[in-house]
Each structure stands twice: as C-alpha cells, then as structure tokens.
Chain A
Amino acid sequence: MHFLIRKSLHLVLVALAVTAITFVMLDHMPVSIEHEITGRFATEADVRSLREQLGLNASLPVRYGRWLSGALRGELGRSLSTGEPVGQALAASLPVTLELLLLAQLLALALALPVGIAAAWRPGSWWDRLSGTIGFGLASLPPFALAVVLMFLFSLRLRWLPATGFTPLSVGWWQNLRGLLLPALSIALVEWVTLMQVLRSDLIATLQEDFILLARAKGLPGWRIMFRHALRPSCFSLITLVGLHGGNLLGGAVLIENIFSLPGLGRLLLTGLFSQDYPVVAGCVLVIALGYVLVTFSVDLCYGALDPRLRREGADG
C-alpha cells in the first residue's frame, strides 16, 4: 500500500513536470498554429481574432493553468487545428500504439528467448557465434531502414502483407494482424538482439553458479537445469530491457508509425508538434508519462515475482 502511494505521488510529479515542459517548449517552436490555420493570405486582423478565439493571447502560465484545471476534471481540451476533443483522439490512437508495442515485444521475445538460451547453452559454439553475428548485423540497422526493406520485400515484391494502413481489431483480428505485422517486425528485428545478448550473458553467469553445479550433481538433465534452475534467476536484465523498450515505444515509434501510416500515438504527437497544437501534444505526453510509470511499476512487480529476495513482504526481508 505504502508502495502504491509512493508510486502515485511519483506519477503526479512526473505528469506535472512533463506537461509543464511541453507547454514551455511549444511556446518556443518556430511555428504558430494561428498562421497554420489562417493560411498564407490571412490579414493581421484575421490572425489576431483567431488568437483571441483560441485563447492564445493569455500568458503561458495562465494557459497552462487553464489546461491543468481542465485535465484535472478529465477534460483535455480540443485540438486547435481540427477541433476534435483530445480525449477522443487519444482513445483512437492509443490502442494502435499499444497493439504495435505488444506485438513487437512478443516477437522480440519469441526470437530472443530460444536463440539466447541456445547460445548460452554452449558459449562459443557455432550457433552462439552465428546468432551473435546475425544479431550484431541486425542491431546496427536503424528500425526505419529495416522497415523499408521489409516493406519492399513482403508488400511490394511478395505481396503477402499490406504496405500501409491499419485495420482496427473490431473489423477482424487477421486483417488487424496483417497490418501490424510488418511494423512490429521492423521494431522486433532490431530489438531482439539486445534482449538476446543480455539473456545470454546473464544465463552464462547463472550457469557458473554453485546451485547449477548442485543441480547437475542431483543428476538432473540439462534442459531441466536450464529451464527450472537457470532461466528464472537470469531474467532480470531481460525484463528491465523489455520494460524500457516498451516505455520508449509508447511515444517513440513515430518513424515506424509514419512509414506504415499507422494512426498511433506517435503520429498524433508528431502532427500536434508540427502545428503547435498544444492540447494534443500535452495530452499525448500525459499518456506517455502515465505509460512509463505503469511500465516501471509492472517491471518492479515482475522482479518480485521472479526473485523472492526482492519481495516486499517477506518473513524477514
């Protein structure tokens, strides 16, 4: 309970800080929403009246205060450029990003776990060296470059998967999956490498432990030692990284979302930024910060589940 209170306080502070910073930064952007909307041939008077209308004439603290009091009531305002309620825009784009994030993490784990385990099984074996080399090659590619390659290969050449566009889950899971597979793969193919590497090195370290020696002395077969004894204590860096990646992806899949025209959070954020649409940007930032805190919280929970020494209520800690 104590822990939950601390975490919530943490969340509030983070949210306040990032939204305030967002407001300050947007104010210094070299674009202005009123000119975007009114266009090139607008008169000075048009612009002024629009500023008035959008409430942009108030000072920065006043604007932030207004936004904050709205946000506290669950009212995130409307987009300055489209007039759409920000809450609605977020509700539409967040699921896309979450799905992408989840799928990418699952794919990355599906690659990293078996390859990492097999590599740690016999360090220095041909398999270990091969996976290390391939991984190194993949990790040195930026995800967007990989995305372009994948798109060329699977959409344009083989025509297996759509190049762009997103079908909501409500239409059908297969169409939904088809749209997300390439973007998720572009992320996963780069990300699994670091996951595999930390898992491999942690596993190798764990396999040197005395309790593994004892497990061998018990006459247990190798697979049982690996999965029952070695894997769980070797998952900490892996979980931490998955959490970090997940948090990053929440707002950082901008390029991928743009390449594949996915209407996700990253795209919403980017369009908001370029038009100085601060209610949209602030809303996105708020959601991302919330997501980050939630991710670290669940990583903490995972630690406790993995290792009894880290559980909060123990017999004697």
Chain B
Amino acid sequence: MSANLLLSVENLTVRLPSRHGTVRAVERVSFAIEKGKTLALVGESGCGKSMLCRALAGILPGGAQLPGAWRMTFDGRNLARLSPKELTRLRGNEIGIVLQNPLASLNPVHTIGRQVSEPMLYHLGIAASEAKRRTVELLQAVGIPQAEPRMKCYPHQLSGGMRQRVAIAIALSCDPKLLIADEPTTALDVTVQAEILDLLGRLQRDRGMSILLVSHDLALVAGRAHHTAVMYAGRIVEEAPTPELFAGMRMPYTRALLEALPRIDAPVLGPLPAIVGQPPNLAAPIVGCAFAPRCAYARDLCREQEPSLLEAALLPRLDQAEPEAGVATGFESLPKPEPPRPPTLDPGSPFHHRYACWFPVGEEMP
C-alpha cells in the first residue's frame, strides 16, 4: 500500500437489519483516498453511499453488521486493531463529517459557538478561552462574517448556506485528516452549492486534508474531485481518476447518471429526466449485474453472473483522447479499440480505471 494513501478500505460490507430482511447496504467495497486529494462518490439515493460514509465515521445505526474479512487502514493504522475507545477518539478527531441537511444536523437548542467548540473541548482538552479563539478562527475560515457575535446565534437564525458553513466548521474543529461530506449541498440553493464546494476546495488546499465528497450529481462533483467512484446497489461499479473517467466511461450506469442530469439547454418544465426504472431492493438477493433490469446493454450473461471490478488499463489515456470530445457529450466520439481485458484486479488502488460490467460502453459487442 502506498504511503500516499490516507485511507484504504478493502472488501467492506455493511448489512442492516430491517423489517423486510437484511439490507445489504454496502457490498464488498474497496477504495482508497490519497492524502490531500478528493474522492467523489456518486450514486442515486439509496445506493448505499450514506451508509458507507456512516461506516467510515463510525456512526452506523444500531444493529448494523460488518461481515466478511474487511480491512480499513487510516493513516497507517489498521482500524480493526484499535480499541473502541481509540476508534471513537480517532473518529472524533481525525475524521470530520458534514451531513446533507445543515438545519437538521445542527442542534437547535445550542448556540453555534458551543457546537463548534464542543469537540475541541472534549477531545483536545483545551481551555475554554482557547476554544473560543479557535472557534472564531474556524468560523472566519469557513467564511462567516462577524464570526465573534455570530457565535451566540442559534442555527435557526442563520441562512441555509451559513448553516452548512457552520457544519463544516464543526467538522473541521479538531483539524481532521479526512473530511466526509455526505451530499453537502443537496439541501441548498443552486447558487450556494458552488460556494460551499469552492469553500471545501479552498479548505483542502489550506489544510492538506483529504475529502470524500458524496453526491448524486456526477457533473457537480466530478470537476472538483481527483478521483470519482460510482456506486450502485451497494457496490462500486466504476472508478477512475476523474479525467480518465470522463474520457471513457465504461459502465452503462455511469453514463446514464450523467445523462439523467438536467441540461442547461433543456426546458425545465416537468420532472427531470431520470434513469428508467427503480434501483434494486437491497433487502432482496441480487443475482447477476445489479443494474441489469435497467440497462440497455443487458444480455443473458448479465442476469446470471455478477461482473467483477476490472481494470481498464488499456483504455486510451486522456492525452490520447480526441481533443474535441467534450466532457458531457464525448461518449459517441470515443475511439473503440478492442483492448484485451486484463484479468488482474488491484483492490484499493486508486490509480486505475476500474469498472464492473460485462459489456462495457465503447467496446465492440462480441
């Protein structure tokens, strides 16, 4: 494992008991995040990305199980070997999380100053005056004007964007090495979304932290992430450095995700175009490719055997891609050489383009 990796996750499975049987929220997921880099995790709601975040942040719901031989390494430490106390400490200190709805994720009855300073007071054991000074600094760092008087505000007195800035300040309070942002802009106005994402980018440059940016909006986050992983039905189905992914998406689902997005030139009347069909029920066993019922390319093999995550090592690199191929419309013009599929699989390595599909886009149909 490279020393450059902050977090590597191998073979992580999360099962949740529910009234309708065990939900396989996350299924044998492996990925890694480099130090100081951003990994975007993209998928429809209910694809397990939130549960993956919660597993990383140690806040899975009661009864959740992590079966199988998983392995998580954070900053050189094997998380399975840490005691529960050390784990809590690590998670409070070194992993910060920002949740989707900033109003719901802030305590309505505490001032924002108190909420930002609480983790510092608890974990770092610093004096109240020092915590206050740091809180003001943090609030300034996340772009809250008049930070000092604002500390006495309650969440309901702030706008949505300001609240999310406060939530980010909370996540940053113990100077984490990894910031998990679970749909950080979904509950916000479009104009504020970009501001918050810009803020995250700036904070990353200033602090050198890694970010796991989770979203349902591939186009929104991809431009800001070094790496992008696409999740479907609890599995990572395609993963690549972002430029390579956009240069050659192989998994039909990834492509569908991008096409499901609203376009500027399309009329905004009526519901947004969505991917046809429903995501699979994760409480029921899935045979074959989970995307098969919705996939235009599906064949018998897809419904019988689950494709494993394979490397597309021989795909054309970005620098060889046709220059006029735009990001959102470049699929049609992709060069279509038939590469021999290498059978090797390097779990957790973030430096390759991997996808799980029998009949990937851009390959000749046999």
Contacts and interface: CB of A to CB of B under 8 A. Distances in A.
B99 A214 contact: yes
B107 A215 contact: yes
B224 interface: no
Contacts of A219: 58, 88-93, 119, 122-123
B156 A217 contact: no
A288 to B, nearest CB: 33
Contacts of A221: 88
B101 interface: yes
Interface in A303-317: 306-309, 314-316
Interface string B94-126: 011101110011111110000000110011000
Interface in A178-222: 209-211, 213-221
Contacts of A306: 109
Listed residue (B99, B101, B109, B154) with the most chain A CB atoms within 10 angstroms of its CB: B109
Contacts of A122: 62
Given A213-B59, A218-B92, A220-B92, A308 B97 contact: no
A218 B154 contact: no
A232 interface: yes
Contacts of B122: 218-220, 224
A314 B106 CA distance: 18
Contacts of B153: 315
Given A218-B170, A219-B123, A220-B122, A213 B108 contact: no
A223 B99 CA distance: 22
B362 to A, nearest CB: 40
Contacts of B2: none
B: contact size bracket:
20 to 34
Interface string B226-251: 00000000000000000000000000
A213 B153 CA distance: 21
Contact of B105 (A211, A232, A308, A309): A211
A307 B108 contact: yes
B12 interface: no
B18 interface: no
A308 B156 contact: yes
A229 interface: yes
Contacts of A209: 104
Contacts of A315: 153, 157
Contacts of A215: 107
Interface residues of A, number: 24
A39 interface: no
Contact of A211 (B92, B95, B96, B106): B106
A233 interface: yes
Contacts of B91: 217, 219
Contacts of B119: 218-220
Interface in B233-280: none
B94 to A, nearest CB: 10
Nearest to B98: A214
Interface string B62-102: 10000000000000000000000000111111011101110
A242 to B, nearest CB: 19
B97 A214 contact: yes
Interface in B15-71: 54, 57-59, 62
Given A217-B97, A218-B122, A210 B109 contact: no
B107 A309 contact: no
Interface in A220-256: 220-221, 224, 229, 232-233
Nearest to B89: A219
B107 A217 contact: no
B174 to A, nearest CB: 8
Interface in B146-162: 153-154, 156-157
Contacts of B105: 210-211, 213-214
Nearest to A232: B109
A308 B152 CA distance: 11
Interface string A70-102: 000000000000000000000000000000000
A233 B106 CA distance: 12
Contacts of B157: 314-316
Contact of B108 (A216, A218, A220, A308): A308
Nearest to A233: B109
A192 B62 CA distance: 28
Q: Which 4 A-B pairs have the closest CB atoms?
A: A219-B92, A210-B104, A210-B105, A308-B154
Given A213-B59, A218-B92, A220-B92, 15 more contacts: A210-B100, A210-B101, A210-B104, A211-B108, A216-B58, A217-B96, A218-B118, A219-B90, A219-B92, A220-B118, A220-B122, A306-B109, A308-B109, A309-B154, A315-B153
